[in-house]
Amino acid sequence: MTTHFITFRDLTVSQYYHIFERASFLKKERRSGQYRLDHLKGRAVGVFFNKHSTRTRVSFECAINELGGQPIIMNLNDSQFSRGEPLSHSARVLSGYLAALVIRTYEESQLTELAKWGSIPVINALTDDRHPCQVLTDIFTLYERLGSKKLSDQLICWIGDGNNMANTWVEAAAVLGFGLNLACPEGYEPKAEILKRAYQENPKIKLTRSPLEAAEGATAVNTDVFTSMGQESEKEKRLKDFKDFQVDSNVMAKAAPGAIFMHCLPAHPGEEATNEVIESEASVVFEEAENRLHVQKALLEFIIPKLI
């Protein structure tokens, strides 16, 4: 059966730990200069981006290359995607060429449609609703620092918009069992159906209006832009609605001793977080960015069966 990675619910706890251990090994190998692998030798992976990207696109292209494969870059305007070809057709056509499809777009239903009709793994590189590759990497970043401490004993904090990243953190908390405090302004909470299902599985997920309350005792404080891609027309209103939801040194001071600051990037210093926090000792934002490569290599190896 084909394994997809469209939501955090697509893999099991043991599969996540397998990916973390493998990513850790691949990171060490790469740092020692040994990163030419052959898992994808002679095979191509489609990389389709219908929204801007720096980290996700470049890290996936490098990951595919370093696994011995070839990334095939597609975009909306030079493919038949923008000319109305049914996704049910494109899925079957691309399955004849590619080992997997990595896709970033607006509507997540496009990914589920491609997965339904195709026979290759579909990897969600961000939709309006979710960003699982980023949260997978963020949890790996935390996992690396925890040593012998258990991930499920940690309290993670999310401050700001209940956006694609927040939805994914909620699903990750449901699957992996850690505590999650979210502080979001009224009207900007994560999707109701995602929250409702997750609450039933993990009562340690809590929603508040107070960033200081949410950060209390947290191992990691997370945030993201106030205006995500596709919401540009709401920017002015959002800046006002989020004015009390900035991560600053007062918020970080409420977190647990040694807590880290996380942001998927790109950031707007001075909006969702102060420049002081982004540049502080507690900040792991560039480590998260680097880890995208290692974790996505481990994910691709796991999700694309090796040819024998």
Catalytic residue annotation: 104, 131, 134, 224, 264, 292
Nearest CB to ligand CP, comparing residues 238 and 292: 292
Per rule CB under 6 A, is residue 264 in the interface with ligand CP? yes
Work out whether 133 is an interface residue with ligand NVA (CB under 6 A): no
**Binding-residue total with ligand CP (CB under 6 A):** 9
Single out the residue of 2, 3, 15, 53 in contact with ligand CP (rule: CB under 6 A).
Answer: 53
Strand ranges across the sheet with 205-208 = 205-208, 179-183, 155-159, 220-223, 260-263
Q: Which does 219 bind (CB under 5 to 8 A by kind): ligand NVA, ligand CP, none?
A: none
Of residues 64-123, which lie at the interface with ligand CP (CB under 6 A)? none
Task: Tell me if 224 contacts ligand NVA by CB under 6 A.
Answer: yes
* 288 touches 265 (CB < 8 A): yes
Residue 54 binds which entry of ligand CP, ligand NVA, none, CB below 5-8 Å type-dependent: ligand CP
Q: Using the rule CB under 6 A, is 168 a contact of ligand NVA? A: no
Question: Could you tell me which of 79, 77, 129, 83 has the C-alpha nearest to residue 101?
Answer: 79
Q: Where are the beta strands (DSSP E) in the chain?
A: 44-49, 70-74, 100-104, 122-124, 155-159, 179-183, 205-208, 220-223, 260-263
What distance, in Å, lies between the first and last C-alpha atoms of the chain? Answer: 17
Whether the CB-CB separation of 96 and 46 falls below 8 Å is answered with no
Site for ligand NVA in 61-120 (CB under 6 A): none
Burial, 253: exposed, middle or buried (Cβ in 10 Å; 0-12, 13-18, 19+)? exposed
229 contacts ligand NVA (rule: CB under 6 A) = yes
Does the protein bind ligand NVA through residue 163 (CB under 6 A)?
A: yes
Binding site residues, ligand CP, CB under 6 A: 53-56, 126, 134, 264-266
Binding site residues, ligand NVA, CB under 6 A: 126, 131, 163-165, 224-225, 228-229, 264
